[in-house]
Structure 1
Amino acid sequence: MSRVHDMGGRFGDGRVVPEPEAEVFHEEWHGRALAVVLAAGFLGKWNIDVSRHARECLAPTDYARFSYYEKWMAGLADLLVAKGIVTPAELAGHADAGLSALAEKKRGAAEVPGVLATGGPSERDSTIAPRFGPGDEVVTRAIAENTLVEGGHTRLPQYAAGARGRILRLHGSHVLPDSSAHGLGDAAEPLYAVVFPAAALWAHPEHPGDEVVLDLWQSYLSPA
């Protein structure tokens, strides 16, 4: 059974309505929420996979009712408390917060563009040799779950579980989110762009001839 955050292709959620490209944030606080989450990431206490999993772990009722950036802020609040950066009382405004020992990690405004431009590269050396090449037919795991941690983070979406596709290209070896999100190390392995016909993913696709390209790790795949 898919979890509440795994919504891709789920029946009954309505049409996806593209928003105007010029509208980046619906409300002023959305931009500040993004900035706060990125600034907290500079503290070095977690990585992007841990951050994603924190949002996935929100209570289903909260996940369903929160807006996009409310989910981001709720996940951040949980991480700040879990990592001991702030106390629940400080977060709720019921205690005076002193200067954090992590204050020296603060980035100045002039530094931010350069830091964001470099991103967070996930490519790593790996002893795991690529198993597939462009054009190879593959099948994804039948169940989209983390095989290392029960209920853990994974980048294999439910709608693509057990689907047949073909390798488009090899991206090199990258950090495995299923491991990285749980403090188990980078566990880098080959990452592929895999092409799936829409008809292989959904019973009644609106455009059967369309294709979907997913970036999937080698451990998610088997030869077709």
Structure 2
Amino acid sequence: MDSIADMGGMQGFGTASPPEAGEPPFAEPWEGRAFAMTVLTMGRISGQNLDAFRYALGRLHPLDYLADGYYGRWLNAAELMLTDSRILEPGAVDARVRRNSGEDVTEPAFPEPQKPDYKPTAAGSLREIEDPPAFAVGDTVRTKDLHPAGPTKLVGYARRRTGTVTAIRPAHVLPDTHAVFEGENAQHVYTVAFSSRELWGDDAEDFTLNVELFESYLENAA
């Protein structure tokens, strides 16, 4: 799915701001609470996993994604996971806010939860698989032109681009299927080096960008 969360490499957003000296973990107290609430929401409350959380971020309305700030996105994504699992009805949070402000509002009834079969991920996402890697260090590969309806970790600016495999990483759970509870589908992961000008054209600053890519994202460029 192409979404506002796939902003990497887009033009027109300016340069990244350097970190502030002595910057605290949370700029405002509510941000720490938002962090804690979102972590609690993932897992046993909503039945969702970390990849589902990232998918929820990608499904936020673009205006909300940009306007509400980093931890505002976290709260919006937590609410979306709760509605996905039918812990909350859509609109229930807004109704509670209006009710607390004195409006005569009937809050949507809590539905029957339908949480996915959550499995703790503390053991990590690395896996051992029997299939040998399809590509070797030094191979020239091309990324596929993927535009799935669901999640993908193949960033938009790196699609249909040619690069060179520089390392083979341990196999990893595929977030694309794990986020929607369609299986782990563990795959080999490769570090692929791309020329900046291959990604952004001849006028780009000249450097090499390394991207970690799942095997199903790649094809032999030859």
The TM tier, using the shorter chain, reads 0.7 to 0.9
Structure 2 length as normaliser, TM-score? Answer: 0.79
Aligned partner of residue 213 in structure 1, secondary structure: strand
Q: Structure 2 residue aligned with 1:78, among 80, 86, 95?
A: 80
Question: Which whole-Å CA distance do the structure 2 matches of 1:86 and 1:9 have between them?
Answer: 35
Question: Which whole-Å CA distance do the structure 1 matches of 2:159 and 2:92 have between them?
Answer: 42
Displacement after TM superposition at 1:125 (Å): 3.2
1:220 matches 2:217: yes
Question: Which whole-Å CA distance do the structure 1 matches of 2:89 and 2:12 have between them?
Answer: 39
Give 2:62's aligned residue. Answer: 60
Displacement after TM superposition at 1:63 (Å): 2.0
* Cα 1:61/1:213, change in 2 over 3 Å: same
* Cα 1:21/1:53, change in 2 over 3 Å: farther
Displacement after TM superposition at 1:119 (Å): 5.0
Question: Which whole-Å CA distance do the structure 1 matches of 2:79 and 2:123 have between them?
Answer: 22
Contact 2:3 2:59 in 1 (8 A): no
Question: Which whole-Å CA distance do the structure 2 matches of 1:128 and 1:25 have between them?
Answer: 44
Contact 1:130 1:190 in 2 (8 A): yes
Displacement after TM superposition at 1:21 (Å): 5.7
Write out per-residue CA displacement over residues 75-102 of structure 1, whole angstroms, 9 at most, x where no aligned residue.
Answer: 100111221234457644366x99xx9x
Q: Which runs of 5+ in 2 are unaligned?
A: 100-106, 114-119
Query: Structure 2 counterpart of 1:182, which letter?
Result: V
Contact 2:42 2:78 in 1 (8 A): no
Contact 1:190 1:218 in 2 (8 A): yes
Contact 1:144 1:157 in 2 (8 A): no
Give 1:6's aligned residue. Answer: 6
Matches within 5 A, 1:147-162: 151-162=149-160
Structure 1 length as normaliser, TM-score? Answer: 0.78
Question: Which whole-Å CA distance do the structure 1 matches of 2:21 and 2:153 have between them?
Answer: 26
Question: Which whole-Å CA distance do the structure 2 matches of 1:120 and 1:74 have between them?
Answer: 27
Displacement after TM superposition at 1:26 (Å): 2.1
Aligned partner of residue 212 in structure 1, secondary structure: strand
**Count of residues in correspondence between the two structures:** 200
Question: Which whole-Å CA distance do the structure 1 matches of 2:147 and 2:50 have between them?
Answer: 19
Q: Which runs of 5+ in 1 are unaligned?
A: 102-114
Report the identity percentage. Answer: 33
